[in-house]
């Protein structure tokens, strides 16, 4: 929030001497500050949570300004963005004092922010090349490497945006090239700083260590690579990879020169003879190749020795490459096996999930069929995937197989049960008690089963070939025939729904 400003009305219109001011000002300032703080304390200030509830437009403006942070409105529409920001600051102060004018001020801010977005689109279209160059400069690190120059260029861009905002588009367009040049220069400077700084640091170290006296040719190569890196960026600042390659080679040569200096100083300090130098070289060579090849044959000429060692090392490299290929092939096969195993596991999981879903569906259908029948109508059993409806509630006249109307409600429930299992085969079986002649009971149970099957097929609209009927007479009792209750349970029709 803006800092408080103080006004001293007691000084208005007075011609006070400097001495008097010097003497009185601290006391007057203290008195005025005390009065100001007392006034503030006496006026309640709303906290943010209350403001969010009572002044929603102020909150909306605050959130909209935060959301606009990444849209560069302060860069492309500075004047209208400042209006929106100032409107929010004023609206917030008014809201703290519970002044209803805060809503009106926030409305002005939202309007200004909307205008800023529209203006930013126009400016961005006009300054497309500038913004593209600016992004490249930022990516190169211009804001960090050339802070002062970058800030000046940003200020120039804002000034040009203000001109565009005022509608002076031709004047704004005329200033584009200058800004493009500024940002391109910043980009190049940042690239050189980033890519070449390591070389220049290393060259400075080389100068301090007097490497020129020990490895002048190697140092010369480093300087040449340094020049090539600079020339590459000057020719095409986007060719950063090539410039970086030159920079790496330059640093390599400088580090090599340091190594040369160290070896020469060892020779000088130890007062090596020419023979000592050769023996030192052979010893270093032997230590280098010892883990890889046979001991060098120093009785051969150096040229022959180096060729032999090179041949052995090349053979090792070929062997390593062959082994790497084998390893890669093994990795590929392993990856294929892992993938195949994953596919198998996915199939198993899918099958398991499918079976689980199917089982849930079967259980739901079975529960539905069970719910259709009252206890005195039928009992429903599940036999694996099949469903048995044991309907002891059928009413037939003694010795008769005709279906009475009283059975229609029960038969309709059986039909609804069959519809629940699409394409199932239906086996209708008739059963009697042991009263009467066994052969007569067999024929009666068969007739009753046939009549029920025909009824279910015709009334239910099912294909007749889905139904099979069979009579068992008194052969399959489910209760004792010694009492009336048992005989009643044995007189039944069973409908077996056989799922494929």
pLDDT 10s digits, 418-444: 999 988 999 999 999 998 888 999 999
Give the tens place of pLDDT for each residue, 260-313: 999 898 888 888 889 988 999 889 888 888 888 788 888 889 999 899 889 988
- Region of 55 please: left (phi>0), alpha (psi -120 to 50) or beta: beta
Other Cβ atoms closer than 10 A to 89: 13
Tokens representing 398 are 């003694």
DSSP letter string, 33-64: HHHHHHHHHHS----HHHHHHH-HHHHHHHHH
Strand order in the sheet with 386-391: 379-383, 386-391, 492-498, 425-431, 467-471
Bridge partner residues of 387 (DSSP): 382, 497
Which of residues 176 and 294 earns the better pLDDT score?
176
Q: Where are the beta strands (DSSP E) in 289-385?
A: 379-383
Give the tens place of pLDDT for each residue, 197-217: 778 888 888 888 889 999 999
Is the pLDDT reported for residue 115 higher than 50?
Answer: yes
Q: In whole angstroms, what is the distance from residue 493 CA to residue 485 CA?
A: 16
Other Cβ atoms closer than 10 A to 150: 22
Q: How far from each other are the two terminal CA atoms of the chain, in whole angstroms? A: 79
Bridge partner residues of 494 (DSSP): 390, 429
Tokens representing 434 are 């042991």
Residue 70 DSSP class: G
Is the pLDDT reported for residue 25 higher than 60?
Answer: no
Is the pLDDT reported for residue 5 higher than 50?
Answer: no
| pTM check: above 0.85 | no
Distances (CA, A) of 369 to 331, 366, 387, 418: 56, 5, 9, 9
Half-sphere exposure of 188 (CA within 13 A, CB side): 15
Cβ-contact 160, 79 below 8 angstroms: no
pLDDT bucket at 43, cuts 50 / 70 / 90 = low
Could you give phi then psi for residue 379, rounded to 5 degrees?
A: -115, 140
Q: In whole angstroms, what is the distance from residue 198 CA to residue 204 CA?
A: 10
Percent of the chain predicted with pLDDT > 70: 91
Cβ-contact 496, 420 below 8 angstroms: no
Contacts of 116 (CB under 8 A, 6+ apart): 68, 73, 77, 80, 81, 83, 84
> Of 389, 394, 374, 478, nearest to 428 (Cα)?
389
**Is it true that domain 373-498 has CATH number 3.30.1330.60?**
yes
Half-sphere exposure of 280 (CA within 13 A, CB side): 12
Give the tens place of pLDDT for each residue, 343-372: 999 999 999 999 999 889 889 999 999 999
Is the pLDDT reported for residue 31 higher than 60?
Answer: no
Domain coordinates of the chain in residue numbers? 44-126, 129-258, 373-498
Average pLDDT of the segment spanning 126-140: 87
Q: In whole angstroms, what is the distance from residue 227 CA to residue 81 CA?
A: 46
């Amino acid at each position: 929030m803006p800092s408080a400003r103080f006004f001293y009305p007691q000084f208005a219109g007075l011609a006070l001497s400097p001495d008097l001011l010097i003497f009185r000002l601290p006391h007057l300032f203290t008195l005025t500050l005390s009065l100001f703080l007392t006034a503030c304390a006496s006026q309640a200030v709303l906290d943010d949570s209350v403001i969010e509830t009572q002044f929603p437009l102020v909150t909306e403006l605050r959130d909209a300004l935060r959301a606009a942070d990444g849209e560069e409105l302060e860069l492309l529409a500075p004047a209208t963005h400042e209006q929106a920001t100032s409107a929010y600051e004023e609206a917030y102060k008014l809201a703290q004092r519970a002044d209803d004018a805060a809503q009106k001020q926030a409305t002005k801010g939202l309007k200004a922010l909307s205008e800023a977005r529209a203006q930013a689109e126009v400016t961005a279209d006009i300054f497309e090349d500038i913004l593209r160059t600016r992004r490249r400069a930022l990516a190169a690190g211009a804001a960090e490497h050339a802070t002062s120059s970058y800030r000046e260029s940003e200020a120039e861009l804002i000034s040009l945006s203000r001109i565009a905002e005022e509608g002076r588009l031709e004047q704004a367009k005329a200033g584009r090239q200058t800004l493009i040049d500024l940002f391109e220069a910043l980009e190049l400077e940042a690239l050189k700083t980033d890519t070449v700084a390591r070389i220049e640091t290393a060259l400075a170290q080389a100068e301090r260590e007097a490497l020129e006296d020990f490895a002048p040719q190697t140092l010369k190569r480093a300087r040449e690579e340094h020049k090539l890196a600079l020339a590459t960026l000057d020719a095409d600042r986007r060719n950063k990879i090539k410039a970086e390659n030159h920079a790496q080679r330059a640093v390599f040569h400088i580090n090599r020169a340091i190594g040369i200096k160290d070896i020469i100083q060892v020779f000088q300090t130890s007062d090596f003879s020419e023979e000592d130098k050769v023996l030192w070289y052979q010893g270093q060579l032997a230590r280098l190749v010892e883990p890889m090849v046979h001991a060098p044959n120093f009785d051969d000429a150096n040229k022959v020795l180096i060729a032999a060692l090179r041949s052995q090392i090349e053979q090792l490299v070929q062997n390593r490459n062959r082994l790497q290929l084998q390893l890669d092939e093994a990795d590929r096969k392993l990856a294929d096996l892992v993938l195949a195993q994953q596919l198998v596991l996915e199939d198993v999981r899918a099958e398991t999930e499918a079976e689980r879903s199917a089982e849930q569906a079967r259980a739901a259908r079975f529960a539905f069929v069970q719910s259709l029948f009252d206890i005195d109508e039928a009992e429903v059993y599940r036999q694996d995937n099949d469903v048995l409806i044991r309907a002891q509630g059928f009413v037939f006249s003694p010795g008769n197989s005709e279906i009475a109307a009283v059975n229609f409600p029960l038969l309709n429930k059986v039909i609804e049960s069959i519809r629940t299992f699409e394409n199932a085969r239906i086996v209708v079986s008739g059963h009697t008690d042991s009263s009467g002649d066994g052969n007569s009971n067999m024929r009666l149970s068969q007739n009753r089963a046939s009549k029920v099957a025909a009824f279910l097929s015709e009334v239910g609209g099912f294909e007749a070939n889905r139904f099979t009927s069979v009579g068992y007479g008194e052969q399959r009792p489910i209760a004792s025939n010694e009492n009336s209750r048992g005989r009643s349970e044995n007189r039944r029709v069973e409908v077996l729904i056989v799922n494929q």
